[in-house]
Amino acid sequence: MRLSFLEPLYTASGPFASVYLDTSRDIAQPDRSVALRWGRLRADLTRQGADRALLGALEEAVGADAELPGTHGQAIFAASGSLVMDGELPRPPARDSARYSTLPDAMPLVTQHLPEIPYLAVVVHYGGLPTAETHGWVRVEAESGTWPASTVTPGERLHHEVAVASWHHSAVRLGHRLDAWARRTHADAVVVGGDAWAGNVLVRRLPHALSGKVVRVGGPTPTDTGRALLEPQLESVFRGRMAAHDRDLVNIFIGRRALGGPATEGMEATLAALQRGQVAALLLNHLPAASLRLWTGPQPSQLALTEEELITFGVRAPHEEPAAEALVRALVGTAAELVVVPADDLDLDEGVGALLRYADADANADRPA
């Protein structure tokens, strides 16, 4: 998983206010509910030391997603009296939270983006008889997305309508258009719903490389929900699945580990690689526990298990921070990726490993401050 979408967070200077808020619209009086929730979080931030300017910047963003139907939430970050980032959550947070801290609390937002699977969703509508020898129209709606984030932030949408008599020929041209689109967005899957006959015509005419990615789904196929096309079906298709890109990284790690290539395992060795900017992708069996802490300095690569280690590298006055916050900052700051892989698929030493950008000739060499 690439974390470049978080880069704006780390161009600002802390301390940061990080707010996770349920802003769902599927209840009576949702605006009142959001206002009450925010009121509690505002009071919490005040107790933590946030000033009025910071609270005002957050308040302007709270509930800005009111036009989005259904269940969802917001992740809002502010620093120095200004809004830094306002991210939409595809699911409401497990609980509303507000934190005022040196580093932004970004891991819950990252978690809601996992497993970040790129896809195309295609709905084929047709109301006539299951034959091209009749009057009527075939209408196709297609949409790109990255599941699950695109549940509430749908991607590019395609509309295509053609007379049924021309559908067989038009499906060939549309198939090539979808193929180019899937290549451009690196789609792992093409999820197709709607009319069975008209959908079969399209699927049979897709280029071979794309047809192998097709997943047929049933169920209702509304196209005007204000949310992702085929949202309920996407949930069932992608639940428990890993993005193909992340799976490739796992396979590369397995190969390198077997051959003694540029990869590492265990917390201490992985942190050392992060300090050197050596990590291409961090692999975790599970997200860091809330109780796990790391010592950090002002730079993203300055993180360690002990205060003494950072002082040895010339860091003045290190701070102890939640490991999740320190790791996300390090990954974003060094342009490294994050892969969460179940231990049943890849059992990592201490649940932590990394693919490295290069082999280190001397892993014990002094690391830069």
Q: Report domain extents, the chain.
A: 4-105, 117-238, 244-356
242 within 8 A of 251, measured Cβ to Cβ = no
Q: How confident is the model at residue 169 (pLDDT cuts 50, 70, 90)?
A: very high
Range list of H helices, the chain: 30-48, 52-61, 107-113, 167-185, 196-204, 208-211, 231-238, 244-259, 267-275, 307-312, 323-333
| pLDDT (tens digit per residue) in 191-242 | 999 999 999 999 999 999 999 999 999 999 999 899 999 999 999 999 999 9
Specify the pairing of strand 279-284 against strand 337-340. parallel
Beta bridge partners of 337: 281
246 within 8 A of 238, measured Cβ to Cβ = no
pLDDT confidence of residue 4: 96
- What pTM was computed for the model? 0.92
CATH architecture designation of domain 117-238: 2-Layer Sandwich (3.30)
Residue 166 has pLDDT above 90, yes or no: yes
State the CATH class of domain 244-356.
Answer: alpha beta
Q: Which of 221-225, 269-273, 331-335 has the lowest mean pLDDT?
A: 221-225
112 within 8 A of 92, measured Cβ to Cβ = no
Residue 323 has pLDDT above 80, yes or no: yes
Q: How confident is the model at residue 127 (pLDDT cuts 50, 70, 90)?
A: confident
pLDDT confidence of residue 136: 87
Fold of 4-105: 3.30.960
- Whole-angstrom CA distances from 184 to 2, 91, 121, 242 are 17, 27, 15, 20
Q: How far apart are CA 289 and CA 16, in angstroms?
A: 21
Q: How confident is the model at residue 369 (pLDDT cuts 50, 70, 90)?
A: very low
- Enter the DSSP assignment of 230: T
- Same fold across 4-105 and 244-356: no
Helix, strand, coil percent values for the chain (each to nearest 5): 35, 25, 40
